[in-house]
Structure 1
């Protein structure tokens, strides 16, 4: 498992340097995707669909299903391919998800009732970051348990909030609070292309 948080200096160095590829996964996944591509895809998927749960990831098999008719979609749509059924489509999907680093570099996987998630969101609001963070309220989704499992596998973190900069999981509230108290959180945000305007 890759650990990004050791100490502020090492953390920033690992954030700015290339990361190793994820270990091999089931055969249906495009194996050219690395861990960051998978995290970006999970972000793209969870942020592209409405919170009304038009679609969700089925817990039993990780296929994409429609909320009102789980049997409607039979294709093997997954958190990694998302319907990319050819090499060309897969490459196009990677390009789309990598664009998130520019358009939405800061993402917080949150839970609406979690006090630590609230503290994280309050801090980001106080810092007046730009672009604004993408907040994904996992508990409002039908596939919350599946998303949590994928986050744990990809980031090593099973709790909320989970703050991500350009596909890298930076940590939960305790990690971010420590960074902020040391004056390193703003440095980390700026190194990820995020302006702090407070």
Structure 2
């Protein structure tokens, strides 16, 4: 019984010491990646009139891109294909925080969040896209 009393304080001291002084490089790396994604998203939205955060295989993303290509062919559209980027999950995570929308496409016109493809199509039906451009 006496030996278990001694072992417990040693274990407890070791546990608290390792917690207090542990350095987890992965956590710093995650913060750095998240910050870089946030900066990328904010800069991309600020510097482009139309931004579509997309995935290359997504049919809804394709419809959104097609709308701009056919109805507004002179408009430059910045498209970031998240599934083709190493930082795609981090970008999508920041977009979820920024817009409360985790899905793609995630569309911005003149720094205004439009939403997804259904939102874009509905806005276009009311000539709202043209008005924003």
The answer to whether the Cα contact below 8 Å between 2:52 and 2:80 also exists between their aligned partners in 1 is: yes
Question: Could you state the TM-score of these two structures normalised by the residue count of structure 2?
Answer: 0.66
Please state which structure has a larger fraction of its residues in helix. Answer: 2
1:108 equivalent among 48, 52, 60? 52
Aligned-pair distance for 1:179? 1.0
- Distance across 1 between alignment mates of 2:104 and 2:130: 21
Scaled by the length of structure 1, the TM-score of the pair is: 0.46
- RMSD value, Cα: 3.0
1:93-137 C-alpha deviation (Å, 9 max, x unpaired): x9xx49x64x52111101000000000000000123444110110
Q: How does 1:50-69 map to 2 (within 5 A)?
A: 61-64=30-33
| Aligned partner of residue 80 in structure 2, secondary structure | strand
Q: CA deviation at 1:183?
A: 2.2
Unaligned stretches of 5+ residues in structure 2: 1-26
Rounded Cα–Cα distance in structure 2 between residues aligned with 1:143 and 1:59? 16
Distance 1:108 1:130 in 2: 16
1:128 equivalenced with 2:72 (yes/no):
yes
* Structure 1 residues without counterparts, runs of 5 or longer: 1-57, 65-76, 83-93, 190-198
